[in-house]
Amino acid sequence: VRITDGASLYALCRSWLRNGLSVESQPQNMDGVRSLPRPLPIPVREAHSPARKESDKEEEQQEDEVSVEHLSSQELLRRHIKRAKKVRTQLREERLQRIERYKTRLALLLPPIGDQQLRNEAAAGN
């Protein structure tokens, strides 16, 4: 890494990352501490696709065509509930994808399920 007087912090960090130690050359075990495995790559097909965004925009435009001022409170509530359910479903899908992506890391960090259930039962009994 070359340090120059006029270099920005971003440029220094970028240079350090490019020219730093490779992952393979770093030791895996240092005094009992293991490095975590890298997460799985993000699937290309499941990344935010333009077609999906366009369909969402079209639905929103159709709903916005009718003026909100002229809608009854029941209709506004129905639209709000419909949108909230869609957002909740989308967030759940994203959360499940993240869990799947980081599953190998989580397995190392969290106790096995059987141990966790025993602890919960013991805590509930006290």
**pLDDT by residue (tens digit) across 73-116?**
899 999 999 999 999 999 999 999 999 998 888 888 887 776 66
Looking at residue 82, its pLDDT comes to 94
pLDDT digits (tens, 9 = 90+) for 39-76: 888 877 655 555 666 667 777 766 666 677 788 889 99
**Residue 98 lies inside a defined structural domain of this protein:** yes
**Residue 103 lies inside a defined structural domain of this protein:** yes
**Residue 79 lies inside a defined structural domain of this protein:** yes
**Residue 29 lies inside a defined structural domain of this protein:** no
Q: How far apart (Å, rounded) are the C-alpha atoms in residues 4 and 25? A: 27
**Residue 90 lies inside a defined structural domain of this protein:** yes
**Residues recorded for the chain:** 126
Q: How many domains does the chain have?
A: 1
**Residue 93 lies inside a defined structural domain of this protein:** yes
Exposure on the CB side of residue 61, measured as CA atoms within 13 A: 6
**Residue 16 lies inside a defined structural domain of this protein:** no
**Residue 91 lies inside a defined structural domain of this protein:** yes
Looking at residue 2, its pLDDT comes to 59
Range of the structural domain that residue 104 is part of: 71-109
> pTM of the entire structure?
0.50
What are the angstrom distances between the C-alpha of 121 and each of 107, 110, 112, 115, 117?
21, 17, 15, 10, 6
Is-contact 107 40, C-beta < 8 A?
no
Q: How far apart (Å, rounded) are the C-alpha atoms in residues 63 and 80? A: 11
Instruction: State which H helix or E strand residue 34 sits in.
Output: strand 33-34
